[in-house]
Structure 1
Amino acid sequence: MSGNGKKRTPLVAERRYPAGSTGKKPAPKKKAASSRTTRRKAAPKRSKPTGPIGWLLLPFRWAVRIIWAIGWRLGLVTALIIGGFSLYFASQMPAMEELIDGRTRGSVTMTDLTGEVFAWRGDQFGGMVRAESVSPHLHNAVVATEDKRFYRHLGISPRGIASAIRINLREGRGPLSGHGGSTITQQTAKLLCLGVPFDPTKWESEADYEADCRRTSLRRKAREAVFALGMELAYSKEDILTIYLNRSYLGAGSRGFEAAAQRYFGVSAAEVDPAQAAMLAGLLTAPSTNAPTRNLERAQNRAAIVIGLMEEQGYLSTQEAMNAIANPATLSESAQQDSGGFFADWVMESGPEFFTRDTTEDVIIRTTLDQDIQAAAEEALISVFENEVREGSEAQAAIVVMSADGAVRAMVGGRNISATGAFNRATQALRQTGSAFKPFIYAAALDLGMSPYAMVDDAPTCWQRRGSRDWCPVNYDRTFKGPVTLIQALAESRNIPAIIVSEDVGRELVRNVANGFGVEGDLAAGPALALGVSESTLIEMTGAFAGILNGGSAVTPYGLTDLRIQGDDTSLMDATGAGIGERVIREDAARQLTWMMTKVVEEGTGRRARIDGWQVAGKSGTTNGARDAWFIGFTGDYVTGVWMGYDDNRPLSGVTGGGLPATIWHETMVRVLADRSPTPLPMIAPPQPAATGLLQSEGGQIVDNDILDVLDLIVNN
């Protein structure tokens, strides 16, 4: 009500009623009610099942609704969990550069005496490459081969996984066995072992660690997928591809595409052409099996498939693909050097462990190997076994060639010349030396002043043995020649004279001379010492003969001359000339012995080793039962030792040291000395005395007292 009696103007009436209205409140519109009614009618109605079929389908409809209600909620929760874990992994990812080189071991690169690479050991890593800097052909080949949708997915490819499971089941394998359907991101995650670092207390070796990382299970595949999503969040596509290119193993000890390109083709990963890129990418599926150093034809066939994929996906034109297939990639000259494996293994074993077998650095070792001599030894061995040995024979042979100072120039440890990590018969086989031991007996005698023309009685002789029958050895030819000179006794490898001389100068002195020259181990204590019943290795025996060639000084065989860390010019080990040791016998005694040993080749058991125009000295050896056959000889430049026998110690059939071993020696040295000028042997032909006494034995007693008096006088003065 108003207190002034005036009529009050209605508030906002003009907004409530339309113009021209009479002022009366309009009646409520029925349209709104009708609209609400319409909306209610528009709501879907749950239809009641009609008919028997409807009632039968009702439970299935309810089941679908329940599954959907639960499923989308579980899906949401799962997505949130996966997203959370992916974000966690992404937050834990280190800088991309820290993941490039994941090796726990270093590598060893070996060069020959000229500096040319001939062998690799350990895991080679050629240095970091980036996906943007490698050859475009290599970049495209990897993507085309391993993951053509790489730039379109988020780390996993459901389509690829489903396809892989279908293929595995169709081929009769388990769903996770065989094809994995993994993207490049997933493969990179596996190469990183899903972020689990190598622990030497948990895994015995890096190989065990990697094998464990490759094991497949549903749990591991789930973790792999989450880790891959985390990588996609943390890194760009090119970063992921960079890690993959650097960590992939590509056979022959190559880690990463830079190392593989250098190993197989001698070029950088930035320089490979389409054919080379296709071959490298083709190694990803089976690096050891498809490695071109193992089977070049298989590697080329696999590369042709990759080239087809590159053409199909538009990375190569038809003409480029045809050119790449018509001109497949081939190995570089150094990669084709499929030799020196036994030598390389020996260097790895004999070198310092922390720089060879267990190195964590990349090491460059310069060696004494001469690849031409190595090839000569391998060719000789193959030639003799193909032409002189019956087909199917399981007999083995080994060769060592060294200089007079002990520098090993070639080594063949068995008939499988391309083997690596195999049993090396040149360095590991302990075998009886037979008559190859006899030069040490005569070295001891000559060092005491005995003349090569001294006479010794080659007659039936027995030695008494305590508690058993007398020992009555015979010569190889079962004959006895009576008085012979030391020269003839050595040349014809007479057993009785060797035993008599050994007993005369004393077994202990003979053992000392043999040990001094490098024949290690327990040498026989009885008179059979003279017949080489003790065991030694080929490299020891060859080194001992090198001591005779160099004038009577001990020799330690060696193969390493320089060791450096890759990229560092500082030499950590310089072993040049390290083979020469202390003097064992007088130089003139060594020169006389060398002259006596030339008679072995010219007139005695080593005739097969003769080389026209060259002075050759040597000694054959055949053990009891012909279980081992040796020939070790030298020219003025090189000492070469050859052993032949069976690994199971079976007797050889019709083989003596002067037979096939001497033939192998000859074939080796003919190749080694080709196009060289003859080098005279450092030897002395002793003057022939007017008369000498006769050295003989009866019942184990030395009876020539005049000779004994002379020897005693020399020893005491």
Structure 2
Amino acid sequence: MARRPGKSKAAERARSAAPSRSRRRPARRKRSRAGGFPWLRMAACLIIIGGLVVGGWLVSIARDLPDTSGLQAVERTATITFLDHDGALIARRGSAHGHEVTVDELPSYLIDAVLAVEDRRFYSHPGVDVIGLARAMVANLRAGRVVQGGSTLTQQLAKNLFLSPERTLRRKVQEMMLAFWLESRFSKDEILELYLNRVYFGGGAYGVEAASLRYFSRPASELGLGEAALLAGLLKAPSRYSPVNDAQRAAARATVVLDLMAQTGRITEQERIAAARTPIRVSRGASSQGAQYFIDWAAEQVRGIAGLEHDDLVVHTTLDVDAQRAAERAISDILGDDELASGAGEGALVSLAHDGAVRAMVGGRSYARSQFNRAVLAQRQPGSAFKPFVYASAFEAGLTPEDRRNDAPVRIGDWAPQNYNDEYRGEMSLREGFIRSSNSIAVQIAEETGRGHVARLARRLGIESPMRVDRSLALGVFEVTPLELASAYTPFANGGLSAGAYGIDRIETDAGDLVYAAPASAGQLVLDARTQARMRDLFLTNVRQGTGRRADVPGLTIGGKTGTTNDFRDAWFAGFDSQLVTVVWTGNDDNSPTERATGGGPPARIFQAYLAAAPRTGLAARPVQAPAPVAAATIETLILPDADARPVPVEEPDEDPIGAFLSGLGGRD
């Protein structure tokens, strides 16, 4: 075979020994796989480590899960049921649980209402709704804050039964674990029953049965569609949407629930319209949020009578729910009008029957905003509302309404009290001095009669607070509560009998056994007939012609007295008709001055609005046992300096260090 020209054997051998391209390519692929192994191993290790960490964290969370053995037991405390004087439910205190109900016992639309607002996919998810969680996350991210929750009804049950309300990731994971556990152990209907029998509906009511009795005074099985929607609407925020706190907000929330039910096909459009047009009638007691001030006051007395350890109790109170609502409305309407309120931000009202039974008690404009009971706890100066005690002591000492004194500037030592607007009208009768609320004449007759005499009479009639028996006593420069002042005014209205305020008529067990009964009313005679008649004349004249004219109610015989303190800080009206003794206070909690609000302004207007609307039946006092006839000599002994069994605390200064401060201080009307 001939060789190609220019090619030697050596060249051919070298070419055959050189590696070909087909052999080099596999070597490159092998290097590529060898170089990728470290990254794969690292990723796999991270996944395994992360899984172990998450698994360990979940195990630690699972170990901290609460004990679920007591799931079926309902923990409850003794319930105290408060009824008004006519047997209407006012409130329940304690863990008010109704009896357990099943899904079959409840109206189908009640179940639909709850599921429409709380968990639309309840019957399809395994305890945690992934779709709902995703929707809530998107909505919260868009809003930049939490605006939706993704918890299912099962998760809410788990949280309510076993967990705290704190918002942490750990608690949320525990909630999901417990939700899965509940779904694995109970059927959907059983979970729904557990939820409805334990969830809080506000007003102290746990469970749908207790809530139905609380708000509508009938079992849940008898609720209408609108009422069911209202209860379902409470679940989002029981206090905010409670008809007790805000009836309009509760009704608006019920309308939202009806809309959701229609949108999800649970009710027809015709059913929605019919339910929305049907008025929802909340029980009389439940519709009065201000009655909670009275319940707080009465509940403390129940604990004192029955002790801390007791079974379920039924407390029959003296409150009249219709009168209570009239009182709340009067305060709300007057103080809600800036012009009529004249800078007074708060108010209180106490209304007693002539035997001292509390018929209405309003401790403030809104119990939801402030639970401080100003009717019982607020210590404020009575100002000129104390002057009736000055005049009564003068009449006991022998003066008459026709006696005359000079309404002119008066000075006692270095103290010179002034009349309102520094106006003086010269010589006038004591009757005119009373209806004009003259500071000058009140101080003069207090000095003539004796300050100790005035203080002892006030104590005898019911003033219990310490009184400074000094020159300013006649002008009410000390502190009392509205309840205390109302009690002290009752002898002026009932014929001269003492009458301490009381709110509990009797207490019974749930089985009807009597625990306590208020003692029969037999007030002590503390004003003789002549003094009482003269004072009644002054009170009636003051409302007809004097500073209390705005308190007059057409068709009723009204008597009363105004009171205003220095710088217009406190304004009062204390008065009565044939059935009730009522005291109204207005002012500001921080003791700041009002915009010249006087006792003849907001308090008199509130008194008038209340008396005009209060029911005139059922409010009268219980029959009062007539006291034995009291001789005139016995009355005289009541006013002697050492005859009072309860001496008045005296704080007489050595020199009178407050003289300059008290200059010009006193009642203004």
Whether these two folds match at TM > 0.5 is yes
Rounded to whole Å, the distance in 2 between the matches of 1:606 and 1:155 is 66
Letter in 2 for 1:373: A
In the alignment, what sits opposite 2:362? 412
SS class of match (1:300): helix
In the alignment, what sits opposite 1:214? 165
**Contact kept? 2:496, 2:532, Cα under 8 Å:** yes
- Aligned residue pairs total 599
Aligned counterpart in structure 1 of residue 159 of structure 2, from 190, 193, 209:
190
Rounded to whole Å, the distance in 1 between the matches of 2:32 and 2:394 is 116
SS class of match (2:513): coil
Letter in 1 for 2:392: A
In the alignment, what sits opposite 1:287? 238
Rounded to whole Å, the distance in 2 between the matches of 1:59 and 1:406 is 91
Letter in 2 for 1:559: G
Residue 584 of structure 1 pairs with residue 538 of structure 2: no
Question: CA separation of 1:527/1:394 partners in 2, compared to 1, >3 Å: closer, same or farther?
Answer: closer
**Contact kept? 2:407, 2:428, Cα under 8 Å:** yes
In the alignment, what sits opposite 1:22? none
Rounded to whole Å, the distance in 2 between the matches of 1:178 and 1:227 is 24
CA RMSD of aligned residues (A): 4.5
SS class of match (1:223): helix
**Contact kept? 1:338, 1:418, Cα under 8 Å:** no
Letter in 2 for 1:410: A
SS class of match (2:377): coil
Q: CA deviation at 1:405?
A: 1.0
Letter in 1 for 2:513: T
**Contact kept? 1:282, 1:306, Cα under 8 Å:** no
Larger Rg: 1
- Deviation track 1:55-80 (CA, whole Å, cap 9, x = no partner) reads 66655666687789x59996998899
Residue 337 of structure 1 pairs with residue 287 of structure 2: yes
Letter in 2 for 1:188: L
Rounded to whole Å, the distance in 2 between the matches of 1:83 and 1:640 is 60
Rounded to whole Å, the distance in 2 between the matches of 1:373 and 1:269 is 29
Rounded to whole Å, the distance in 2 between the matches of 1:424 and 1:94 is 42
In the alignment, what sits opposite 2:562? 620
In the alignment, what sits opposite 2:479? 535
In the alignment, what sits opposite 1:136? 108
In the alignment, what sits opposite 2:87? 115
Rounded to whole Å, the distance in 2 between the matches of 1:608 and 1:84 is 69
In the alignment, what sits opposite 1:372? 322
Question: CA separation of 1:301/1:668 partners in 2, compared to 1, >3 Å: closer, same or farther?
Answer: closer
Q: CA deviation at 1:94?
A: 3.4
Question: CA separation of 1:590/1:368 partners in 2, compared to 1, >3 Å: closer, same or farther?
Answer: same
Residue 664 of structure 1 pairs with residue 606 of structure 2: yes
Rounded to whole Å, the distance in 2 between the matches of 1:431 and 1:517 is 19
Question: CA separation of 1:258/1:671 partners in 2, compared to 1, >3 Å: closer, same or farther?
Answer: closer
SS class of match (2:374): coil
- Deviation track 1:245-302 (CA, whole Å, cap 9, x = no partner) reads 1111223433212223333444422234555444433443333344455313441343
In the alignment, what sits opposite 2:664? none
What stretches of structure 2 of length at least 5 have no aligned partner? 1-25, 625-635, 644-669
In the alignment, what sits opposite 1:23? none
Aligned counterpart in structure 2 of residue 245 of structure 1, from 162, 185, 196:
196
Question: CA separation of 1:271/1:85 partners in 2, compared to 1, >3 Å: closer, same or farther?
Answer: farther
Question: CA separation of 1:247/1:601 partners in 2, compared to 1, >3 Å: closer, same or farther?
Answer: same
- Deviation track 1:327-367 (CA, whole Å, cap 9, x = no partner) reads 23753242672453364355346523368997886543332
**Contact kept? 1:119, 1:340, Cα under 8 Å:** no
In the alignment, what sits opposite 1:643? 585
Normalising by structure 1, what TM-score? 0.70
**Contact kept? 1:342, 1:424, Cα under 8 Å:** no
**Contact kept? 1:156, 1:228, Cα under 8 Å:** yes
Aligned counterpart in structure 1 of residue 450 of structure 2, from 478, 501, 506:
506
Residue 323 of structure 1 pairs with residue 277 of structure 2: no
Rounded to whole Å, the distance in 2 between the matches of 1:635 and 1:132 is 54
- Deviation track 1:179-198 (CA, whole Å, cap 9, x = no partner) reads 5544433322211225xxxx
Rounded to whole Å, the distance in 1 between the matches of 2:619 and 2:576 is 15
Aligned counterpart in structure 2 of residue 254 of structure 1, from 190, 205, 218:
205
Aligned counterpart in structure 2 of residue 432 of structure 1, from 353, 367, 381:
381
Residue 269 of structure 1 pairs with residue 220 of structure 2: yes
Rounded to whole Å, the distance in 2 between the matches of 1:277 and 1:575 is 40
Rounded to whole Å, the distance in 2 between the matches of 1:666 and 1:216 is 50
In the alignment, what sits opposite 2:495? 551
Q: CA deviation at 1:137?
A: 2.9
Normalising by structure 2, what TM-score? 0.75
Counting only pairs closer than 5 Å after superposition, residues 154-169 of structure 1 correspond to structure 2 as: 155-156=127-128, 161=133, 164-165=136-137, 168-169=140-141
**Contact kept? 1:355, 1:363, Cα under 8 Å:** no
In the alignment, what sits opposite 1:564? 508
Moved more, 228-237 or 639-648: 228-237
**Contact kept? 1:562, 1:576, Cα under 8 Å:** no
Residue 299 of structure 1 pairs with residue 245 of structure 2: no
Rounded to whole Å, the distance in 2 between the matches of 1:713 and 1:322 is 74
Q: CA deviation at 1:543?
A: 1.5
SS class of match (1:286): coil
Letter in 1 for 2:411: C
Q: CA deviation at 1:402?
A: 1.6
Letter in 1 for 2:468: A
Rounded to whole Å, the distance in 2 between the matches of 1:613 and 1:398 is 25
Rounded to whole Å, the distance in 1 between the matches of 2:638 and 2:273 is 82
Rounded to whole Å, the distance in 1 between the matches of 2:347 and 2:180 is 57
Aligned counterpart in structure 2 of residue 573 of structure 1, from 516, 530, 544:
516
- Deviation track 1:567-619 (CA, whole Å, cap 9, x = no partner) reads 321233323756x6443333443233223333333444334444455443322
Q: CA deviation at 1:307?
A: 0.7
Rounded to whole Å, the distance in 1 between the matches of 2:55 and 2:427 is 104
Question: CA separation of 1:363/1:52 partners in 2, compared to 1, >3 Å: closer, same or farther?
Answer: farther
Question: CA separation of 1:522/1:291 partners in 2, compared to 1, >3 Å: closer, same or farther?
Answer: closer
Moved more, 144-153 or 265-274: 144-153
What stretches of structure 1 of length at least 5 have no aligned partner? 1-46, 195-212, 465-469, 683-710
Moved more, 276-285 or 547-556: 276-285
Aligned counterpart in structure 2 of residue 446 of structure 1, from 382, 389, 395:
395
Rounded to whole Å, the distance in 2 between the matches of 1:624 and 1:124 is 47
Q: CA deviation at 1:434?
A: 1.8
Question: CA separation of 1:611/1:146 partners in 2, compared to 1, >3 Å: closer, same or farther?
Answer: closer
